[in-house]
Amino acid sequence: MRLLMLTASLPYPPQQGGALRTYGILHGLYQAGHDITLLSFHEGDTRPSDTPLAQFCRRIETIPPPLRSKTARLRDLLLTGEPDIARRLYSDAFRDRLRDLLAETSFDLVQFEGIEVACYLPLLRQWGTRARLCYDAFNAEAALQQVIFQVDRAVPKRWPAAAYSLIQSRRIARFEKLLCQQADSVIAVSDEDAAILCPLRPDHHVPVVTNGIFVDDYTGTGQQLDLGEHVIVFTGKMDYRPNIDAMTWFADDIFPRVQEHLPDTRLYIVGQKPHPRVEQLRSRHNIEITGWVPDVQPFLRAAGVYAAPLRMGSGTRLKILEAMAVGCAIVATPIAVSGMRDDVHQVATITNQTDVMADAIIHLLQDPQRREFMGQQARQYVKQHYDWPVLIPRLLAVYKGMGLE
């Protein structure tokens, strides 16, 4: 099968959500013998030819991401009915390169990795391409914005952000419906997302291929950090609103309760592009903000507890899969594990109550044997259910259902 994959950024290094997913899919499709062309937005010093992507893909084309000013975003907000996410990565240069590739090669399938590049899907319908079109939905985006609205509306100083999310959720809902109707297939990353997207499809069918990782890449070898005896770690892209909300809520309402019992406890917030609301937490006692790091695994290995206090979001949280694969003891909210199997509560502590979460963290930090047991259980769990060798056959089955081999 000849496949053209579109991505919002070069999926290497595979360190953040979309890149981790796309890298795993590319690796699996390459091993299955498919011919892959990759078209990505990319800027920076990394040359695609110097990455493993060059082995997976017959051809890699990159275009610099467009520069979109705040003025342009405001203009689109006021003068169009389009969601911001549909305009964020629209580029004439990317469009023209896409059209050239379609003219040069007879692709069997074009796959859009995430909603940001799915803005090009309606164009392919207009051009009359004969390739099948597959939308890989990283999130049920309209539902995600609705949850963000509900959380922000409870805090008066966040009302402007809440209003923005409400507007965007309605616009995204229309855009998602268009994508789901025009795509030949839509893939969800969780059963919850599939249930939201199914009614938008003419055939009411949205298969699920969950997020995954290469579990064997998370062994105990490698750099070791000594961050102290009582350490809580959170990882994620720190300009992403669900992560910002998670850490501000945790720092305000949960971490102080832990510190009352264990004053030496340190919280490490690990991830690129810390938002100003996250940066403000630097001034607080025993909160460390790392910014970008080349590898999150040393921090995960040094963690006494991995905390995932998410109150908004959708899909399957790759950050939790990584922590499980390393063997961390996990304390998370129901939202944080909403895209995972129902039996995840057997290998992690799940609660959305601040006092219960704080108590669970305190007990784990004081009980090394319990932490070790939970970490081992979590690693076995993710190996069984979320390892890419387990997941790729499900993706291939989706293609087979589209009449592709």
Q: Rounded distance, CA 223 to CA 32, Å?
A: 33
In order of their start, the domains of the chain are 2-212+388-401 (3.40.50.2000), 216-385 (3.40.50.2000)
Continuous H helices in 210-304? 241-249, 255-261, 276-279, 297-302
Please say whether the beta carbons of 286 and 265 come within 8 A. Answer: yes
Determine the pLDDT at residue 316. Answer: 61
User: Looking at per-residue confidence, does 189 or 15 come out higher?
Assistant: 189
pLDDT value of position 136: 98
Predicted confidence at residue 226, as pLDDT, reads 85
Q: How confident is the model at residue 314 (pLDDT cuts 50, 70, 90)?
A: low
pTM metric for this prediction: 0.87
Instruction: Map tokens 């630097």 to a residue.
Output: 282
Residues pairing with 251 in the sheet? none
Q: Which of 258, 168, 240 is nearest to 16 (CA)?
A: 240
Cα dihedral sign for 176, 85, 76, 142?
A: positive
User: How far is the C-alpha of 44 from the C-alpha of 88, rounded, in Å?
Assistant: 19
